[in-house]
Amino acid sequence: MINKIKMLNDLTINKIAAGEVVEAPYSVIKELTENAIDANSTNITVEIKEGGQKLIRVSDNGDGIYEEDVEAAFMRHATSKIIDLEDLNTILTLGFRGEALASIASVSQIEITTKPRNQSYGIYLEIEGGVVINKKQVGCSNGTTITVKNLFFNTPARFKFMKSPQAEATKISELITRLALSQAKIGFKYINNNNIMFTTSGDGHLKEAILSILDKDLFKSLIPIHNQKEPIKLQGYIGQPTYARGNRNYEIVFVNGRYIKSKLVYKAIEDGYKEKLPINKFPVCIMNIEISPQLIDVNIHPMKTEIKFHNQQMVYDLIYNTIRNTLVENTTVPFFSLSNRDKKNHHNPVNMPFSPNLQENKSTYNTHNNNEFTNKTESNQLFFEGYREQIDNNIFINNDMSENVIINEDHIQTEVTQENFLSSLLYNHKVIGQLFNTYIIVEKDCSMILIDQHAAHERIVYNQMLQDFKNNKVVTQRLLTPKVLELSPEDFLLAMENVNKFNSLGFGIEVFGHNTIIIREVPLIMGTPRNFDFFIDILDDFKNEKNHESYFYEKIIRKSCREAIKAMDKLNLQEINALIKDLCKVQPPLTCPHGRPIVLALSKYEIEKNFKRVQ
C-alpha cells in the first residue's frame, strides 16, 4: 500500500512559510530592517529598485553576525532573541520568530556581508532558493549588508499578485517612514531607484525625524503629548484639528518601539478628537506606548503588527483622556491667509455663473436658553444704524494712504488658544455686522473674527443638553399629539431594553400595543420635532456601533440637538451679542458637534498686506 501522508522537505516547508511571512517586497524590507534595529545599529540604509522587485538592500552598522552563525541564521526557527517559551513574556526585540531569513532565502537570491566589531574579517554568503552556493572571508566594515535580488524568481505564480513597481514603492515608503519614526535614535537613509528620498539624523528627537520625513505644515501643527499611569507611559505628538487627513494613514502608533495597527488604539485616538473634526476626516497622531511586555501579546501573526493588550480599558482611557485634555489646553483659533490660496482652485468671480438662491426653512432662535434673544418681528434698524455709524466714523480717517508701514507679522498674528480666546471675547470685541445671514463679523485684537452663527448655536445647545443630562436636569415638554411608532420586533425589543436611557434624556416612551411604542414627551430644547425618523436612526446606530455606553448617550443628545438647531437667519444686534455671550460660556472645542469650525480669524496684517499697505 502506498502511503498518502508524506513528510515535506525543508525547502518546501520554507516556501510554504514564505507565503505567510513574505507577502511582497515591503514585508522583506520590514523583516530585514527590524533585524538591523535589533542589532543595535545607529545607522541604517534601505535601498530599493523597481519597487523592490529587482533589488532590495538593507545595510547597518550594528553588531554583525559571527562566522559560525551566518549559515545558521538562514535556517528555519533559528534566532538569537529567545531561547524558550518563557522569553516571549519579556521580549522587547522587534523580531523573535526565526522564520523571516529562511523564508526570504527560499524565494530569492540573497547576498550577505557581515562583520562583528571584534572580528578582524567579514563573511560573504550567497544563497539561491534556500541553497548556499558561495561562502568566503572578505574585508568589510562593521555591521551587516543584505541584498535581495529577483524576489519570487522560483515561484512565478506569486508575480500574478504583485502590484506595479510604483504601488509597491509607495507601500515600502510608508513602511520605512514608520520604522524611522519609531526609532528616532537611529539615522535612516532611504533610497528609491538611486534617488535619496529622506534621511534622518538619529539624534533621538522624534520631532526632528518628523520634520525630515513628513511635510512642514504637519510639523507646524504638532502638539506634544506626555502622560503616564503605571504601568503605561504615553508620549509623542498629535496634530491640531485644523490639520486633518482623509484616512488613518497618519494615525501612527508604536508599542515599545514596534509599529502596530490596533482598532482599540485608533478608536481611542478618534474619540479624543470627537466633535473637533469634520465627518470623514481623521487626526494626525504619532505616539509611542511604553508598557511591560508581560501585559501585551505580539505573537499573533508573523507580521507582528497585530497586538493584544491585557487591560484594554486602561489603554483606551489613557490615550483618550490624554488627547482630549491636551486639545482643550492647546487647540488654537485658526487664522487663514489671503495670500496662500491655491491659485489653481481660485476661480475668477467674473467667470462664475450665477446660481439660484437655495432657500432653507427659517425660524427664530425661540428655543435658545438666553432671554436676550428677541422676537424676529423686531426691527433691525438699530443694528444697521449702528453699523452705518461705524462705517461713517472710520471712512477716510487715515490721510497717509501712500505710506507703506512695515509690520512684523509675528507680532500681529500670534497663536491664541481657544480657551484664552473665549475668556477674552466677551469684554473685548466690536460687532461689525452679518455676512450672508450666516457669519457674524467681529473685530478683536487687530483681527477680524468670523463666527458661524449656526455652528455656534448648535454647540451651545449641544453643551446645554449634555450638561442637563449629566446633572439630571433635562426639562421635558408634553406633546399635544403623541407620536405612535410601530417598530420591527428587533427594534421594539431594543427600545424597551434602553427605555430608561431614553427617559433620562427627556423622552417619555411607553408600550402602546404589539411592537408599538408611544412618545408622549420630548426634551423642551428640541422644540416640536418635524418628524421622528431620528428615533429609528438612534436605534440603528445602537445596533451597528460597538461603543461604550457613554457614546450611546452622546449619540442621542447629538441627534436631538440636530433637531433643535434652527436654520440660519438674519439677526439683530441684540441677538448677535446674546449669541456671543453664550458662546463665551462654552468649553472648547470651538466646533459644532459634527466637527465644523465655529470661528475663523484673519489678522489685520494679512488684510493690509493684500491692500499693499504693508510689506
DSSP string of 226-254, one letter each residue: EEEETTEEEEEEEE-TTS-BSSGGGEEEE
CA 347 to chain centre: 31
- Is the distance from CB of 150 to CB of 109 less than 8 angstroms? yes
Task: Give mean pLDDT, residues 115-128.
Answer: 94
pLDDT at 105 over 60: yes
Distance linking the first and last C-alpha atoms of the chain = 95
Strand partners, 511: 517
Set of cell numbers at residue 350: 467674473
Q: Is the pLDDT of residue 314 over 90?
A: yes
Q: Which residue has the higher pLDDT, 428 or 49?
A: 49
Could you tell me which residue, 219 or 567, shows the higher pLDDT? 219
- Return the amino acid letter for 324: R
DSSP letter assigned to residue 597: B
pLDDT higher than threshold 80 for residue 414: no
Highest mean pLDDT among 367-371, 571-575, 592-596: 571-575
List Cβ neighbours of 404 (8 Å cut-off, separation of 6 or more): 612, 613, 614, 615
Which of 216, 211, 213 has its CA nearest to residue 189?
213
Query: Which pLDDT does position 563 carry in this prediction?
Result: 58
Model pLDDT, residue 512? 93
pLDDT digits over 131-156, tens only?
899 999 999 999 999 999 988 888 87
* High-pLDDT (> 70) share of the chain, %: 74
Q: How is residue 137 written as a grid cell? A: 572571508
Q: How far is CA 564 from CA 125, 269, 334, in A?
A: 73, 29, 27
CA distance 615 to 612: 7
pTM of the predicted model as reported, rounded to 2 decimal places: 0.69
| Cell 399629539, residue located | 481
Q: Is the peptide bond before 356 cis (omega within 30 degrees of 0)?
A: no
Describe the strand order of the beta sheet including 131-138 as a list of residue ranges: 131-138, 122-128, 109-115, 143-149, 55-60, 43-49, 187-192, 195-199
Say if CB 298 and CB 91 are below 8 A apart.
yes
Say which residue, 395 or 255, is predicted with more confidence. 255
Between 408 and 309, the higher pLDDT residue: 309
- Categorise residue 169: left if φ over 0, alpha if ψ from -120 to 50, beta otherwise: alpha
d(CA 322, CA 273): 11
Ranking 226-230, 328-332, 352-356, 565-569 by mean pLDDT, the lowest is: 352-356
| Band of residue 90 on the pLDDT scale cut at 50, 70, 90 | low
Is pLDDT above 70 for 559?
A: no
pLDDT recorded at residue 144 = 95
Whole-number percent of the chain with pLDDT over 90: 37
Higher pLDDT, 242 or 168: 168
Pick the CATH number of 418-456+567-611 from 3.40.50.300, 3.30.1540.20, 1.10.10.10, 3.10.20.310: 3.30.1540.20
Which ranges in 183-280 belong to alpha helices (H)? 206-213, 216-220, 263-272
Give residue 63's pLDDT band: very low, low, confident or very high (50, 70, 90).
Answer: very high
Contact (CB, 8 A) for 107 and 154: yes
The yes-or-no verdict on residue 571 having pLDDT over 70 is yes
CATH number, domain 475-524+526-562: 3.30.1370.100
CATH fold of 214-330 reads: Ribosomal Protein S5; domain 2 (3.30.230)
* Helix (H/G/I), strand (E/B), else coil: 577: helix
424 pLDDT band, cuts 50/70/90, is confident
3-class SS shares of the chain: helix, strand, coil, % to 5: 40, 25, 40
Residue indicated by cell numbers 466637527: 595
Q: Which 3 state secondary structure label does DSSP give 614?
A: coil
Longest dimension (CA), the chain: 111
For residue 82, give the C-alpha cell: 529567545
- The residue that leads in pLDDT, 280 or 212, is 212
Question: In this predicted structure, what is the pLDDT of residue 243?
Answer: 86
Measured distance CA(118)–CA(152) in Å, rounded = 36
Whole-Å CA distances, 203 to 58, 186, 188, 209, 252: 21, 7, 11, 9, 20
The ranges of the chain annotated as CATH 3.30.1370.100 are: 475-524+526-562
Report the alpha-carbon distance of residue 153 to residue 106 in Å, rounded.
10
SS (H, E, C) 68-137: HHHCHHHCCCCCCCCCCHHHHHHCCCCCCCCCHHHHHHHCCEEEEEEECCCCCCEEEEEEECCEEEEEEE
Report yes or no: 434 and 570 within 8 Å, Cβ to Cβ.
Answer: yes
Q: How far apart are CA 307 and CA 212, in angstroms?
A: 28
Inter-residue contact 218 to 210 (CB < 8 Å): yes
Distance, CA of 610 to CA of 149 (rounded, Å) = 57
What local confidence, expressed as pLDDT, does residue 49 receive?
94
pLDDT (0 to 100) of residue 304? 58
H or E segment and range at residue 179: helix 165-182
Distance, in Å, from the CA atom of 366 to the CA atom of 517, rounded to the nearest integer, reads 29
In the chain, CATH 3.30.230.10 covers 214-330
CA atoms in the 13 A half-sphere facing the CB of 194: 0
Return the residue matching grid coordinates 525547502. 11
pLDDT band at 455 (very low <50, low <70, confident <90, very high): confident
pLDDT of the residue at 411: 41
Q: 213-217, 281-285, 501-505: which has the minimum mean pLDDT?
A: 501-505
Q: Residue 80 has what pLDDT?
A: 52
CATH 3.30.1540.20 residue ranges for the chain: 418-456+567-611
CATH topology of domain 10-86+95-199: Heat Shock Protein 90 (3.30.565)
Q: Who wins on pLDDT, 259 or 335?
A: 259
Q: What is the pLDDT of residue 78?
A: 54
The mean predicted confidence, pLDDT, of the chain is 78
Cell numbers for 515, please give them.
411592537
**The pLDDT of residue 40:** 93
How confident is the model over 363-402, as pLDDT tens digits? Answer: 334 434 443 334 433 434 443 344 334 433 333 333 333 3
pLDDT > 60? residue 97: no
pLDDT tens for 154-189 read: 887 777 778 889 999 999 999 999 999 999 999 999
